[in-house]
Copies of this chain bind each other. A is one copy, B any other.
Amino acid sequence: MSISKKTSEFAIRRLSLYLRILEHLGRDGERTVSSEQLAVRSGTTAAQVRKDLSLFGSFGKRGLGYGVAELALRIRKILGLDRRWRVALVGVGRIGSALIEYGGFRERGYDIVAILDVDPSKIGERWADLTVHDICEFEDIVRKQGVEIVIIAVPAEAVPAVMDRVTGAGVRGILNFAPTTLRVPESVTVKDVNMVIELEALSFALSQEAGEE
């Protein structure tokens, strides 16, 4: 189970990429797109594109390609973007506060409905239209606000205490910005935002070029 769940992680990442390409094509007035076009723009193969899309039911017509709007709609539904999600953010430090003001989440349907911190000096602070709550109120807020996803943006040392509350409150989705690996029950899904991994991909590319010269 956990294997198939993780294997498809890369397929899901590609779906997100296809969606961005389709939205781009839509804005340019394109009506249809072939798996070859999607492949070139996403840096994969047409066979991979067809395989990814067939995982969720096949929608292409041989020789006609995919309808841009239809496929975008279908992928949005697959990715859970056909509805809005209620998100709580824990940790209103530098990264946390940047996330509150970041418009990209709301645009995609993720609404930050509550913000919390452990630091007494931050509790009561206003950020946009939200007030920082004491982490002690976490369970209450999750229940009253119907929180489904929690963003963790606390320092590594604060993670264990926060995680006990988050998993205890029955939250099943976590976006982790803390520089540590979270240990969670099987029923909880965690996605890490790991900036160092992106840098590693960069230094890999630069090392390869240096080797070619």
Contacts and interface: CB of A to CB of B under 8 A. Distances in A.
Interface of A: 2-3, 5-7, 9-10, 12-13, 15-17, 39-40, 42-45, 78-81, 85, 93-95, 97-99, 101-105, 107-110, 148-149, 172-175, 179, 189, 191-193, 195-207, 209
Interface SS of A by simple majority:
helix
Contact of A5 (B9, B95, B107, B205): B205
B200 A81 contact: yes
User: Within the oligomer, what is the number of copies of this chain?
Assistant: 2
A128 to B, nearest CB: 13
Contact of A199 (B3, B6, B40, B108): B108
Given A5-B43, A6-B44, A108-B200, 18 more contacts: A3-B44, A5-B205, A6-B43, A7-B44, A12-B200, A12-B201, A16-B200, A93-B98, A95-B98, A104-B195, A108-B196, A110-B196, A172-B209, A173-B205, A173-B206, A175-B199, A189-B205, A192-B198
B203 A80 contact: yes
A177 B120 CA distance: 30
Given A3-B45, A104-B179, A191 B198 contact: yes
Given A95-B95, A95-B98, A172-B209, A3 B43 contact: yes
12 contacts: A3-B40, A16-B197, A94-B97, A94-B101, A98-B98, A104-B179, A107-B196, A108-B196, A172-B209, A175-B202, A193-B193, A193-B198
